[in-house]
Amino acid sequence: MAVPRPSSPSAAPALPTLGGKKSSYRERVADALRAALIAGELRPGEVYSAPTLAARFGVSATPVREAMLDLVKEGLVDTVPNKGFRVTDVSEQQLDDYTHLRSLIEIPTTMELAGTADRVSLEALRPAAREIVSAAAAGDLIAYVEADTRFHLGLLALAGNAHLVEVVGDLRKRSRLYGLTALSEAGRLLASAQEHLELLDALLERDEEAVRKVMTRHLGHVRGMWAAHD
C-alpha cells in the first residue's frame, strides 16, 4: 500500500522500510515516527496527539496510535491521558553514554570489516549512502535518519552478529540529533553525509586506519554538532 507524502516541507517523508525488510503498516509508521523523533523534529516535552501526527504523515490515526504505543514500550514517549504522547527527554550524560557505547562497538567492528567484508556486500550499501547524501542536499531530515540507520545497521550486519546490530539499533533509537535542522539550514549537513561514501571507499580499499579515522570523526559529529541543543 502506497503512503502519500505530507505536503508540509518540514513533514516526514513517505514511510520507510528499514533494512529492506517487508514491514507491516504499523511498523512502517513506527519507523517514521522514530526517525522524526531521532532527528529532533518531535521535541522532548512536547505532547502530540495521534490525529495531529496522522495528518502530518498522511495516514489514519489508528496506526499512529498503535505505533506510538510501541514507542512507549521502548521508553521513547510517555502517554498523556486524554491528550496524546509526550516525547521523553534525554540528558546530556545519557547522550554521552550512548555515543561512548556506540564508539566501543562500532569503531572496532567496522575496522574489522575492512579485512573481512566482501566487495559485493559493501557495494550493496552504496545506494543507501547516496540516499543519505541526497536527503542532506534536499534538507529532508527524516529521510536522512532513515537512510543513515539502514546504512549503519546494514554495515554492522556484515559482521554476522545479530545481537550487536540489535544493541546498536537500540542505542540509535534512544539518541537525539537535535542539531540536524541547524546543520541543514547552514549547509553543513551535506559534508557529514558524504562521510558515508568516504567510509565505504576506505572499506573497499581495505584501509583499516582510514576506516578508524572516518568512523571516529563520524561518531564525534553524532555527539557534537549533530546533537547540539538549540
Q: Angle between the 25-38 and 141-157 helix axes, to the nearest 10 degrees?
A: 110
37-51, 144-158, 198-212: least confidently modelled range: 37-51
Average pLDDT of the chain? 85
The predicted model gives 193-217 an average pLDDT of 96
Residue-level pLDDT at 192: 86
Rounded percentage of the chain residues whose pLDDT exceeds 90: 53
pLDDT at residue 87 tops 70: yes
Q: What is Dmax (Cα atoms) for the chain? A: 56
The predicted model gives 85-112 an average pLDDT of 92
The predicted model gives 196-221 an average pLDDT of 95
Report residue 216's pLDDT band, with 50, 70 and 90 as the boundaries: very high
pLDDT at residue 160 tops 90: yes
Q: How many CB atoms lie within 10 A of CB 66?
A: 16
Rounded percentage of the chain residues whose pLDDT exceeds 70: 86
pLDDT at residue 214 tops 60: yes
pLDDT at residue 79 tops 50: yes
pLDDT at residue 179 tops 90: no
The span from the CA of 113 to the CA of 11, in Å, is 36
pLDDT at residue 114 tops 80: yes
Residue-level pLDDT at 228: 60
Contact 114, 214 (CB under 8 A): no
pLDDT at residue 186 tops 80: no
Residue-level pLDDT at 9: 35
Contact 148, 34 (CB under 8 A): no
The predicted model gives 202-215 an average pLDDT of 97
Q: Which three cell numbers stand for residue 102?
A: 556506540
Amino acid 210 reads: A
The predicted model gives 99-112 an average pLDDT of 95
